Structure formats: C-alpha cells, structure tokens
Chain A
Amino acid sequence: MKIDGGDTDTPRVSPPSASSTPTPADVPVRPTLRQRLAAWDVRLSPYLYISPFFILFALVGLFPLAYTAYVSVHDWSLLGGQGDFVGLQNYREVLENPYFVKQLVNTISIFLLSSLPQVVIAVTLAALLDSQLRGRTWWRMSVLLPFVVSPVAVAIIFGSVFGDRYGLVNELLGAIGIDAIPWHTDRFASHVAIATMVNWRWTGYNALIFLAAMQAVPRDLYESAELDGAGRVRQFLSVTLPMIRPVMVFVIITSTIGGLQIFAEPRLFDETTARNGGPDRQFGTITMLVYDFGWQLRDLGRASATAWMLFILICVFALLNYYVIRRIGLLGGDDR
C-alpha cells in the first residue's frame, strides 16, 4: 500500500510545461525554502514516525541483549557483582553441565507437542467459528477466556489436576479402567501435561487471529467453489488455507519464539521445593536452567551464557521454520 500524501499542500516539482510560466528549457526551476523543507518532510517523516519504537527497542531490547553478552564473558555473581574476564569459559561450563542437553531436549519436545497441535486446532476452530453458528459472538468470546486467566494460576491448578497419585485426571482414567499415568515422573507424560497447559492457554488466541484472517477472505471465492462442486472440507483446504498463508506464517513464527521459552508452566508444575523441573529435570526447560544458574546457584555469568545460547537456538528455529514454509509454498507468489 502506498502512502498517499494527497491532501497536503506539497507541491510536486513538475517539469516545465505549457501551462506554467514559460521559461527557457535549460534553466532549472529553483525550489523555494518552503518547497525544500516540504520535500525533506516527505522523505524523512516516515522514519521519524517509526523512530519512537526503535529508540525504545534500543533501550529495552538491544541494550540488554548486548549487556547480557558482556556479562556472559565475565565471572559474575548475583550478589557479589562483576568479577574477572573469563572469555568463553561460561559457555563451556554450560555445555558441559550434566543437565544442559537433557533440558534442551525437553524444551524442543515441549515446543513440538504444544505448537503443532495448537496451530492445527486453532485453524479448525477458526473455520468452525467462521460459519453461521447461533450465538456466534458468545462462542468467539468464550474461546478467548483461557487466555485471560493468569498462567501461574493455570499451572498451579493443572499441576494438582495432573497429580500422580491423587490427581483428578488419574481418577477419571481409573474410572474407565486405564492405569494411573505418572504425570510428574515420566518424562514424556510430563511434557504432554505441560503442553496441554500451554495449548489450553494459546489455542483460543490463535484461533481468533486466524478467524480475523478468514473473515477477510472474499465470499465470492467460496460461492464459485461451491458452484464448481466443492464440499465444505475441500473449500477449507483449497480456498481458506491458501488465502490465510501470511497469517499462518505469523502464528507459526510467534508460536516458535514463545514455545521455546516456556518457563512458568513447568516451574509451577514441579512440586518439589527446588522447582527445577522434577528431581531428575525431566521437564525442565532452558529458561528454567537460566533461572537455576542465575538465582539458585547465583552465578549470573553462566545464566547469561545460557540465555544467549537460547537466543541463538530460537533464531535457528525461526530460520528453519521460514525455509520450511517457503519450500512447501506457503509464501506463494505474494512475497512481501
């Protein structure tokens, strides 16, 4: 979309023409001060309008990022403060830490278990909400209710519901004859429980984003598809999904970034006093490792190193996502 400055009184510098004052063709028109300022205004003002965001980002985003890198190459204690310069030693210590690889695998596992079902269910939900339901507004509002609840409250309650011995889920499973599942002890089961919490919170939110995108799809496309004999499902797959590609890219990328940083849910799911993701770190994530190094072991150097490695991991995943999406043609021809 072009920004049209149609209503301002910016004079366009136009080549000499028959309608203006006749001047010799080889004498250029000298713009007045006002005209020059106006030209600068058109060129610079877009950058000025977006600069507050970037200034703020530089202060609260870019500077902490750089400062964390600075902290990560020093020996830095939480209460003692800055120590000696140690180069990449903190990174080496983190990579050699017995729990690092385990928590990395946990992070990726929880991410996949949460993001993939989330996107699929959200798209389906949005398609259902887009149809002519009764009480449409009520359904659309209530789908956002789980998002409104505090994640800490959700984690505490779900932690109790998924209790290994006296939890509600195991009681219900017992009632239909299935053995109790050790939700806190078994590695995969704990990932499923935490992914359930995350999905519960974010599916409605993503569904509404998809719904907004679907409502922008012109209705006559559906009409012509119906005339061509396509059923509801075929219409969904061939008309709706291709038309909401850009929004799907957005949702997948934000889910990736959020899904690799999960902290509150696993931390409160753990009922041991240390809250490190279980006694064997079976559901500890990388963000929890950052907290463990920084605030339990009180070593900010190692915590910063872990934080930077998480940052690099997220960048890698985001790029991977981007290339995969491009390969399977989600970006299609309108690559802006």
Chain B
Amino acid sequence: MRHKVRSTQRGRLALGAVTALSLAVLTACGGDDGGEGDTDGPVTVTVATFNEFGYEELIEEWNADHDDIKIEQVKVGTWDDAKANLYTKLAAGSGLSDIEAIEGDAMPAILAEADAFTDLTDAELDGRWLDWVAEKATNSDGQMIGYATDIGPEGICYRADLFDKAGLPTDRAEVAGLMGTWDDYFALGEDFVRKVPDTAWYDSSGGVVQAMLNQVENPFETDDNTVAVDNPELKAVYDTVTTNIEKGLSTRLAQWGDDWVASFQNSGFATMACPGWMLGVVEGNSEGVEGWDFADVFPGGGGNWGGSFLTVPAQGDNIEEATEVAAWLTAPEQQAKAFAAKGTFPSQVEALDSPEITGASNAFFNDAPIGEILANRAEAVTVQPHKGPKYSDILTAFQAAVLRVDDGSQPADESWDQFLTDVEALG
C-alpha cells in the first residue's frame, strides 16, 4: 500500500475515477436505439421462425419493394427451442419478435393465453385457408390469433439406392404399392434389414411416433381436454414402436440430435415419414448424398404432421406493420414461393389449385412431382387428432419414454409406467 501518494495526485485519481464511472453509467442508461418513429427511418419488423419456413427469398423481395417497412428474420433450429424462448419472453413481458411463428401442436396452449396475442381477425382474409386449419387458429371467442402458413401432409421419403441394394423395387409407383398399411410398411422393413444388415429402416422411433399419433383421434386428451393417456390406441402405438426397436427397424437415435443429423451422411436408414416441410431438412442434411426419392403413399392412408402459424404478440411495438407483413407472408402467392424453396405445403385454398403447386417438382428427390404428391396426401387425410393445451408437454414425455427404450436404459413396460407417472407430475 502506498502511503506516500500526494494529495493533488490522489485528487486527480479520484476525479478520473468518478468521470469514468459516470461516463459508464450514462452510456448504460442512454443507449436506446430501438423503435424509430414512423416519420424518420424504416420500421423493422422481426419475424421469428424455426426449422425451414422458406422465407429467405420472400423477405428479400419485400425489402427490395418497400422503403417504409423492412423485414428481418430470426431463425432457431427446432420448435422446442423457439417454445422455450417464447414462454420466457411472454412471462418477462418483452423481448419477443414482432411476428412469432408457432407450431400447430402448440396452438391450443397459445389460444388459452388470450391477452398475450393480437386479434388478427380480418374479414378480407375470410376463406383464405382450409376450414380445419383456420379453426386451429381461432380461439373460443371467435378471434383469429394466427395466420396459417403451411400444413404437413406426409409421404414417404426413401433412398432408392439402398432399396436397390436390398433388391427392392425403386420406382416411385411400385414402392407406393408396397406400403399402404403400417403392417405392410414394417414387414417390408424387416425384409430390408435382413438383406442390408447395418442399415435401419426408418430414421428414428420419434418420427414414426409422430406419424402414427397424427392418425389417432384422441391420443392424449378427450374432447373436453381431460387428460386420458392410459387409452388402448396410445398403448397400441407405443407397443408397435417399441417392438420394432428390437427388430432393428429403428436407428435408435433422437430425432433432431447431432447423431441423427450425421446419420443422413452415413446411410443410417432407408426411409422416413416426410411431411412437406421435412423435404427441405432432408435435402440440407443429405448434401452430397444421391438417391433420395419421394413416394406418393403413406401407411394408414394419410396424415398431417405440423403446419405452423404466424402470430403477432401483443407486447410488440409495431403491431400494425407486423399484421400487414404477416398477412402478406401467408398469402397464397407467397406460400407457393416458400413451397418452391423449402417444400412447405400451402394451407391456403387458392394455392392448392395453382399451377405452381400442382406442377412443382424437386430435383433433389429425383424430380418427384412433390406438388401433386403432397396434394394427394393432403386429400387422403381423414383424422384430425384432438390436441388440447397439454398436448405438447405430454408428447415430450411420450417421446422421452420411447427414447428410453431406444437407448436401452429401460425395458418397454417400465418406461411406459414412468411415462404415466410423468404425465401425472405435469400437474
């Protein structure tokens, strides 16, 4: 410790310290560059999406044509990460983007949060969407809280080169004839894994769970939202999926994880349940891999997995501009362009008949006529499962139960019991 600092030098040190501190405090308090006024500078509308919505080119198109409103996209990897962010910021009261994309399965829980989202009802947009899709976005007061983007009719993506290795037919139409029911699909799988020992039949148990659950009327909740998970249909799905694990049909990987992504490059599996929006994901993960094709078939007829909505959180600063942007992004023309980019199949009635959709084909998937295939699969959808506010949480617990059997840490019956306990603990 220096005792010999002279008072003038100490005085200067003190003055310097005080100045630095007050500058720091002023800088911290004074920084506020959000929300320009309407009169000076463009308004930036932020759109938060997850996975692949196909909006990149659309946003460029809008920004080139508009000076007063500019769009900025904020992308996250999975819906679950977006969900965590959404609920945190909803509780905090600020921090959300101007437009938040919500996955269809979580819409019932969002509709229950009446005050947090803007009412987007607009008479001009009546009839824009398919009836069952518009219903999903409408709350009990008749207000439309979200504008639907895409729906997820599913077909089967498959690796024609691996089929060839197993001596199975590779032509799209022939493959379609072999997989009409789940029994046929799994039997073909058992045949495949016998002939090609190191490769699984489908990408993950989780994908098959989603595909099968979307064909069950009341998977987790009854129509009045009472939780009823111990029902025979759900148990049947669980038993089928877990038995297949022993037969080697599953890669036993967690969907969306690092190993799952790597398995695309390592030929880990031969088929996969592919809704429209998954096509972009498969293409992205399989860069450099050839042989993917898309068949116009789905075990059980048809199913719908996913489909998202654009909502406008009430806490935002630019509600009017955000509503305008959301309405534009979900217009039939724009969704058709998103479909061309990433395969997100339109939920808009006009788009379904447009030549861009019906004539669309995808070069990566062996020039498959994806527009026609997805339209056919959409028509084949017969069941719209009832999804209540707890659907998302129960689904997470169910997927965890299947994963425990996948990775061998629990036998199937114990894992089912733990699933039942978990659902009870959800409160």
Contacts and interface: CB of A to CB of B under 8 A. Distances in A.
Given A163-B258, A166-B259, A298 B80 contact: no
Contact of A280 (B256, B399, B404): B404
Given A166-B266, A279-B400, A299-B427, A185 B408 contact: yes
B113 A271 contact: no
A279 B425 contact: no
Contact of B418 (A98, A160, A166): A98
B407 to A, nearest CB: 4
A304 B38 CA distance: 42
Interface stretch (A1-9, A124-132, A214-222): A1-9
Interface in A1-31: 1, 4, 6-7
B409 A185 contact: yes
Interface stretch (B82-90, B354-362, B380-388): B82-90
A182 interface: yes
Contacts of A295: 84, 87-88, 91
Given A79-B90, A295-B84, A271 B404 contact: no
Given A79-B116, A295-B84, A280 B421 contact: no
A278 B401 CA distance: 11
Nearest to A187: B409
A114 interface: no
A94 B384 CA distance: 36
Interface string B405-427: 01111100000001001100111
Contact of A160 (B91, B113, B258, B407): B258
Contacts of A79: 87, 90-91, 113, 116
Nearest to A81: B91
A66 B1 CA distance: 38
A245 interface: no
A98 B408 contact: no
Nearest to B403: A279
Contacts of A6: 3
B182 to A, nearest CB: 24
B43 interface: no
Closest 5 CB pairs of A and B: A271-B257, A279-B403, A273-B80, A166-B262, A279-B400
B396 interface: yes
A274 B80 contact: yes
Interface in A265-291: 271-276, 279-280, 282
B262 to A, nearest CB: 4
B259 A273 contact: no
Given A79-B116, A298-B87, A271 B409 contact: no
Interface of B: 1, 3-4, 7, 78-81, 84, 87-88, 90-91, 113, 116, 253-260, 262-263, 266, 393, 396, 399-401, 403-404, 406-410, 418, 421-422, 425-427
Contacts of B400: 272, 274, 276, 279-280
A273 B50 CA distance: 13
B80 A7 contact: no
7 contacts: A6-B3, A163-B262, A185-B407, A279-B404, A295-B84, A296-B393, A297-B427
Nearest to A281: B400
Contacts of B418: 98
A165 B425 contact: no
A165 B84 CA distance: 28
A273 B426 contact: no
Contact of A4 (B3, B91, B396, B403): B3
B344 to A, nearest CB: 20
A115 B425 CA distance: 33
Interface of B is mostly: helix
A108 B343 CA distance: 47
A60 to B, nearest CB: 15
Contacts of B407: 164, 182, 184-185, 279
Contacts of A98: 418, 421-422, 425
A282 B408 CA distance: 13
Contacts of B425: 97-98
Nearest to B79: A273
Contacts of A185: 407-409
Interface residues on A, range: 20 to 34
A279 B90 contact: no
A271 B421 contact: no
B78 A273 contact: yes
Contacts of A279: 254, 399-401, 403-404, 406-407, 409
Nearest to B112: A79
A298 B259 CA distance: 30
B80 A271 contact: no
A78 interface: yes
Contact of B256 (A1, A165, A273, A282): A273
A204 interface: no
A159 interface: yes
Contacts of A184: 407
A56 to B, nearest CB: 13
Which of B113, B256, B257, B427 has the most chain A CB atoms inside 10 A of its CB? B257
Contacts of A276: 400
B91 A271 contact: no
Contacts of A1: 1
Nearest to A5: B3
Given A272-B403, A274-B80, A295-B87, A164 B259 contact: yes
A275 B422 CA distance: 15
Given A98-B425, A163-B262, A166-B262, A7 B3 contact: yes
B404 A272 contact: no
Which of A1, A4, A273, A280 has the largest number of chain B CB atoms within 10 A?
A273
A78 B1 contact: no
A274 B396 contact: yes
Nearest to A274: B396
**Most chain A C-beta atoms within 10 Å of own C-beta, residue among B91, B113, B262, B399:** B91
A1 B260 CA distance: 61
A271 B258 contact: yes
A299 B393 CA distance: 13
A60 B108 CA distance: 37
Contacts of B259: 163-167, 271
A299 B253 CA distance: 31
A299 B427 CA distance: 9
Question: Which of B254, B256, B410 has the largest number of chain A CB atoms within 10 A?
Answer: B254
B91 A272 contact: no
A166 B409 contact: no
Interface in A297-318: 297-299
Contacts of A4: 1, 3
Nearest to B426: A297
A280 B262 CA distance: 23
